[in-house]
Structure 1
């Protein structure tokens, strides 16, 4: 299996696929047709040398993935937000009024996206980093070893992460997102295993992939245990500050591992990738054929898979 260079994510009733600086969002609309939008992603940092630096590129990639994820999620959601009354009002508007309304909506969307990203970051830090730290601190009364406390904190963090995924997977909307997530992985696996990209071949492809964002987040959790073992300061406030400062470093290291796992296929990499692949059994579900069609439409909008397979002799 060779690395195709294409990657993506699931959105509301759709799939986003990214190839270099171009990305496509394919959405199954309420009328069951597929809408495909191709765009160019504007990099947050233009310096090419900085973007190629190991570990630094992981932090940049993580931030940009978060931004792109929010943009595509809000775009896909827009197909299901307007009710019939709103649609009729827009149809009744003049061209100038419609343009002004669209500008207003764009500004509101940017403000909403900024607020959502900020809230998501704070929520994730609180739930997956601060909460485990404070919960593990309860055991200081009965456990004297800082090493054991740090390990306990890591185990609590893993339990909260797995429990959170398990909980949200019970909701119908998230179940469908996880099905589209499965379609995304199946499409990429189909291409990288040298098969023609069609519904039948995608259906029999694996829904697990070593470059998945789920694997990245799990690796972050595991690597954080190792990093936090070496924080040896008495001040609890300083301990929290150091944890915050180490998060970009942990993200950078985790990215390098995921990148390595995506490019190489040997027994060591496969063993180290197992936890992430197991986790994907929760975050991906088997898609139906309509979802697979959406995934295929998204891939073909930004990636010439036939040319790639021919050049790589896959």
Structure 2
């Protein structure tokens, strides 16, 4: 009896949208693929070693999250700088880098610190301060904490909506969608080509948007139990708890990528809803850029052979499915244009809005 092909397998790759391109990472390898104005795709493939490489702290659950977050910010900034330089060169503008490695590193660090400080001010300090205004008329500390949590979530939602109105971000969001589609395509056992990627879901559990939402949600729960009357001290304690919030959020997101646990599903579902704001449908050229980025760091053909029973010929090309593996693959793809789901084998359409778990795979 033929073995049934698995419907989903974690690949371990992840990425980030940049200016006119995508960065994909697989372990220590990462690649930034950028579409130049002349239509050519520029690829920068390198090795990235975390600043905490070899540290035992990276192996401790709920502790490693903070360091992984910082490392992601560092790599993300590097990828954004590369894409910005390519874009500026093609537009005839002066490069954003000075050519001095030490100076560029210092400037990047300064930009990163400012960005983190603004985020802390927006999501930590501002809600705490605004909620404190209600303390003069509301004596119930629990109610004030609830108000603070509500303000924090409202600020997050307004932020998500607000950045979507920035013109340049709209194309970044389309590349973000292309990144998710590529990962969903291969994790569902489909060969990596433009047609298959275009049909895949643009939503994904292991996404930075989901991480942001989970972090805000976890902070609301933790801060609810921290009752300190003196406002400056209250803010200071909240700042000290940021590593705790990030650590818990990271473990939840990590679990979401590998588990079908109902509790995890419910907890991460709103993060998928927010991805309606931060991802948009890409065009075929954007998907082509995403595929180039994936192929620079990930052997997807070997992955399909190992996990989905594909046969690889002597030229390294997909030659079919090995004997003993069934062809009854049951993965579903989301057709956003018609808000429907169709089965990729039989082509049968279902008129209900998409509610399957394909949207949660990144």
Structure 2 length as normaliser, TM-score? 0.80
Moved more, 162-171 or 291-300: 162-171
Structure 1 residue 68 corresponds to structure 2 residue 63: no
Task: Return the structure number with greater helix share.
Answer: 1
Residue 248 of structure 1 corresponds to which residue in structure 2?
243
SS in 1 for 2:51: coil
Report if aligned partners of 2:37, 2:90 keep a CA contact under 8 Å in 1. Answer: no
Compute the displacement of 1:30 (Å).
1.4
Aligned pairs for 1:111-126 within 5 A: 111-126=106-121
SS in 1 for 2:34: strand
Answer 1 or 2: higher relative contact order, Cα 8 Å, separation at least 6.
Answer: 1
Aligned pairs for 1:80-95 within 5 A: 80-82=87-89
Give distance in 2, aligned partners of 1:107 and 1:268: 46
Structure 1 residue 26 corresponds to structure 2 residue 21: no
Residue 264 of structure 1 corresponds to which residue in structure 2?
259
Compute the displacement of 1:86 (Å).
6.7
Structure 2 vs 1, CA of residues 84 and 144 (structure 1 numbering), >3 Å: closer, same or farther?
A: closer
Report if aligned partners of 2:21, 2:35 keep a CA contact under 8 Å in 1. Answer: yes
Moved more, 268-277 or 73-82: 268-277
Match of 2:86 among 59, 64, 79: 79
Aligned pairs for 1:1-314 within 5 A: 1-82=8-89, 104-313=99-308
Moved more, 13-22 or 51-60: 51-60
Moved more, 296-305 or 161-170: 161-170
Give distance in 2, aligned partners of 1:85 and 1:72: 20
Cα deviations across residues 18-57 of structure 1 (Å, max 9, x unaligned)?
Answer: 0001100000011110011111112111234321110111
Compute the displacement of 1:219 (Å).
0.4
Structure 2 vs 1, CA of residues 85 and 36 (structure 1 numbering), >3 Å: closer, same or farther?
A: closer
SS in 2 for 1:81: helix
Compute the displacement of 1:83 (Å).
6.6
Give distance in 2, aligned partners of 1:161 and 1:196: 37
Which runs of 5 or more residues in structure 1 are unaligned? Answer: 91-101
Cα deviations across residues 190-245 of structure 1 (Å, max 9, x unaligned)?
Answer: 01000111111111100100000100010000000110011122322221111000
Give distance in 2, aligned partners of 1:48 and 1:22: 19
Structure 1 length as normaliser, TM-score? 0.92
Give distance in 2, aligned partners of 1:169 and 1:51: 34
Give distance in 1, aligned partners of 2:162 and 2:130: 20
